[in-house]
Structure 1
Amino acid sequence: MNLYDNAPMEKGLFDGLRGKHSLQLVFLVSLALSNLFPAPTFATSWEYPFVVWNGYMYEVVDEKVSEVDRKIGQVTRYSDMETYAGNFSNAYEKGTNYWSIQNINTDEAIAVEVSDGVFKKALRRGEYGGGKYDYFSIVTKVIIVVVGGSCVSYFVLKKLKY
């Protein structure tokens, strides 16, 4: 017989945590971990009006274009408050057409049809990363929360000898 067999048991922090309560623990731990990694925020104003085409940002400048070649795309999403993936613009409405410019490579510039038959030059400024970061952040956050919540829950349940 052990000296401690008749001793009163101390109430542990996780005593009575079984079944549906363990799922509640996983949820609470995951919720707490998700708050450690807030979603990124983006500025609601930009230095200049732009359009995005084929993953590149083009700054729309105040220079008219008279000789366009062919239609190459259009704005698929507009917002002056948030960033989006795809052919996004912070200045031009959905449906605004993009055109190639005669004798100018699209790696250098494109034309934006600002009104019927009126085109402005848009100079390529570099790769657009606005929409890409959102998806990476969401996936990373989900992975951290799931793995972290599972690890904490595993150790709690192990302590309970579940």
Structure 2
Amino acid sequence: MRLKNYLFTVLISVIFLLGCSNNNNSSADWAFSFIVWDGYIYQLSNESVNDISEEIGEVTKYSDMEGTYSGNFSNAYEKGTKYYSIEGISTQEAIAIEVEDGKYRKAFRDGKYGEK
């Protein structure tokens, strides 16, 4: 009987501790990788871009923790990553992100940031 009570107490304690744990170190569960520029969210694609026009901004805040942030935010690229306009394409449609020296990835505009 004593062993039964002890096991029951241990089991309840483990359940309680697991239920109350605060996992602040987990990554966000966003549906896709994105950047925010000029108040709009741009969903990253796998499409490479070669015809870059001019630098239009950069990531000012990076976080992989889900939340709402201000500025040119990204959940995929570090602070300082540059944004560029693409020749022949309006920034209202897409922009380019420099993924490494001389290599760019297209990101498609997906609406106002924070409205979804």
- TM-score above 0.5: yes
Structure 2 counterpart of 1:99: 84
Q: 1:80 aligns with which of 50, 64, 70?
A: 64
Q: 1:120 aligns with which of 83, 105, 111?
A: 105
Q: 2:114 aligns with which of 114, 129, 138?
A: 129
Percent identical pairs in the alignment equals: 56
Alignment partner of 1:54 is 2:49: no
Give ranges in structure 1 of 5+ residues lacking alignment: 1-42, 131-162
Q: TM-score, normalised by structure 1?
A: 0.53
Structure 2 counterpart of 1:133: none
Structure 2 counterpart of 1:90: 75
Deviation string, structure 1 residues 26-66 (Cα, Å, up to 9, x no partner):
xxxxxxxxxxxxxxxxx922111100000000001000000
Q: By percentage of residues, which structure has more helix?
A: 1
Structure 2 counterpart of 1:45: 29
The higher radius of gyration belongs to 1
* RMSD after superposition: 1.4
Q: Given residue 79 of structure 1, which amino acid in structure 2 is its aligned partner?
A: S
Tell me how many residue pairs correspond in the alignment.
88
Deviation string, structure 1 residues 49-99 (Cα, Å, up to 9, x no partner):
100000000001000000000000000000000331110000000000000
Q: Distance in 2 between matches of 1:118 and 1:45?
A: 27
Structure 2 counterpart of 1:69: 53
Q: Distance in 2 between matches of 1:45 and 1:128?
A: 17
Q: By percentage of residues, which structure has more strand?
A: 2
Q: Given residue 85 of structure 2, which amino acid in structure 1 is its aligned partner?
A: S
Which 4+ stretches in 1 moved above 4 angstroms?
none
Q: Given residue 86 of structure 2, which amino acid in structure 1 is its aligned partner?
A: I
After the TM superposition, which residues 9-48 of structure 1 pair with which residues of structure 2 at under 5 Å, given as runs? 44-48=28-32
